Structure 1
Amino acid sequence: MTKIPMTTRGAELLRAELKQLKTEDRPRIIQAIAEAREHGDLKENAEYHAAREQQGFCEGRIQEIEAKLANAQIIDVTKVPNQGKVIFGATVTLYNVGDDKEVSYRIVGDDEANIKQNLISVNSPIARALIGKEVDDAVSVTTPGGVVEYEVVNVEYV
């Protein structure tokens, strides 16, 4: 199976979620199932069925996280010498030529992407256009609204 790129922060967040699911959520759900069983007839016991459904979601998420971590290629960009090129994990400051504004994005794995935090997926059109570029390079990104012209202002490996 191919390795999926992930930042060290993304891996830490997934490990923290996995720990919470295994040490807090799973025991709480098991307790809720045990309590619901004590109420008697399981056919018409809504609390029991709700707890079993929660258990299914929890166990599914545990398996999903474990699979992602097993297939992850964790990249610590801070240990890579900064040669000014845009790479996975880099924080890139761009100047939008069209609206005269600057914006910074960090290129991360698919699971870590969150546009509200300026974290963009390595598979997004803008990240694909940026990979390999250097400071002062011009970048054209095709978006649903048309082509947007950017200039790379700064590249940081933080």
Structure 2
Amino acid sequence: MGENNKQVILTYEGVKKIEEELEYLKTVKRKEVSQKIKTAISFGDLSENSEYDEAKNEQAFVEGRIATLENMLKNARIIDEEDINTEVVSIGSTVKVKDLQYGDEMEFMIVGSAEADPKKMKISNEAPIGRGLLGKKVGEKVEIQVPDGVESFEILEIRRH
């Protein structure tokens, strides 16, 4: 059960997103699901009523998700923009790096695992690249072991979001 009380590191933006999802699940989604259950019950025999089973599964999923999100908020350590150090890479900072192999420049935002979204270049502090960049300064070159080899970066800039 220790997993439930794991500290979750969030930016204010992350907290807002979770609160919005919670609100949606508690208001809109719960109503939808209970409506589906009512409809399914009206079809009669529950023992072979796949609509009923589906609706109950969906309900379990929604309630589980609500519990997960509430837990995240309860255990959240919120990063204040003001506290983000721009001297070294830390959670909440945006890092501009140069890929030394290809010469591309990229920007990553280092976030807690709950907010990670690689498509938006939000990298978890627990992922190899995030972990490898933490604590580094501008001008440093970093070699990071990734699943398909080693990536080399030079840190060009560290700034707040």
* 1:128 maps to amino acid: R
Q: Which residue of 1 aligns with 2:94?
A: 91
Q: How many residues align?
A: 157
Q: C-alpha separation between the residues in 2 aligned to 1:145 and 1:45?
A: 47
| Closer/same/farther in 2, CA of residues 42 and 144 from structure 1, 3 Å limit | closer
Q: Which blocks of at least 5 consecutive residues in structure 1 are unaligned?
A: none
What is the aligned counterpart of 2:78 among 66, 74, 77? 74
Question: TM-score with structure 2 length normalisation?
Answer: 0.90
What is the aligned counterpart of 2:105 among 84, 102, 107? 102
What do residues 74-97 of structure 1 show as CA deviations (whole Å, max 9, x unaligned)? 112x22264421110100000111
Instruction: Note if 1:12 corresponds to 2:16.
Output: yes
Structure with greater proportional helix content: 2
Q: Which residue of 2 aligns with 1:46?
A: 50
* 1:134 maps to amino acid: K
Q: Percent identity?
A: 37
Q: CA deviation at 1:144?
A: 2.5
What do residues 21-51 of structure 1 show as CA deviations (whole Å, max 9, x unaligned)? 0000001111111122122211122222211
Instruction: Note if 1:37 corresponds to 2:41.
Output: yes
When the two chains are superposed, the root-mean-square deviation of aligned CA atoms in Å is 1.5
* 2:12 maps to amino acid: T
Q: C-alpha separation between the residues in 2 aligned to 1:119 and 1:145?
A: 20
